[in-house]
Amino acid sequence: MLERRPFFYLRHGETDWNRAHRQQGQTDIPLNDTGRAQAQAAGAMVADCEIASICCSPLGRARETAEIVNQRLGRTITVIDALVECNWGAGEGRIAGEWYADWWRGGFLEGAEPYEQFIERALNGINEALSHPGPVLIVGHGAVYRAVKIHARLDIDFRLANGVPVRHEPPSDGTPWWRATEI
């Protein structure tokens, strides 16, 4: 279950593999110039959001995004290993196709993390981040965000763009569902 605390989620800035629609997984592809500009813009967007903590994936593209955003915030950045992107195994570097859709349905992909284990790990990483003083900014990956979508009951088909921060508000007395708002 997703901890019921407000938080922000930011998918790392663009990489050359994002631009080419290649699945990066745990291959450590760096940000490109567009990705760095997206991180700068995201920093400006969250500058007045009273973020208390920043947690990020150990992969360079997420860490660099967090560091650029943090130039505006001046917070401690905590790296959480469980926020690392999915290990796509034989799918790393490939363009998504039927193999990708099949994996999301629980299918086998040589060398890849099994779907259910990945979602559980990602949720554990998100909840570990949410144990820090909040609101927390989590800087992570697109597939990791799927764990948020599942456990917050958000639109599973919503694709989080690179460099766009999203604020998440837990259910409250008058609202039985999570709210997610792009900043």
- Is position 92 within any domain? yes
| Measured distance CA(149)–CA(140) in Å, rounded | 14
85 assigned to active site = yes
In a domain, 1, yes or no: no
> What is the DSSP annotation of 20-67?
TTB--TTS-PPB-HHHHHHHHHHHHHHTTS---EEEE-SSHHHHHHHH
Establish if 29 belongs to a structural domain: yes
Domain with residue 43: its CATH number is 3.40.50.1240
Write down the catalytic residue from 14, 64, 85, 113: 85
Rounded to whole angstroms, how far apart are CA atoms 93 and 66? 24
Predicted structure pTM score: 0.96
Give pLDDT tens digits for 77-112: 999 999 999 999 999 999 999 999 999 999 999 999
* 141 belongs to the catalytic site: no
Flag whether 141 is in a domain.
Answer: yes
What is the count of structural domains for the chain? 1
What is the tens place of the pLDDT at every residue in 67-78? 999 999 999 999
Catalytic hit among 12, 132, 141, 168: 12
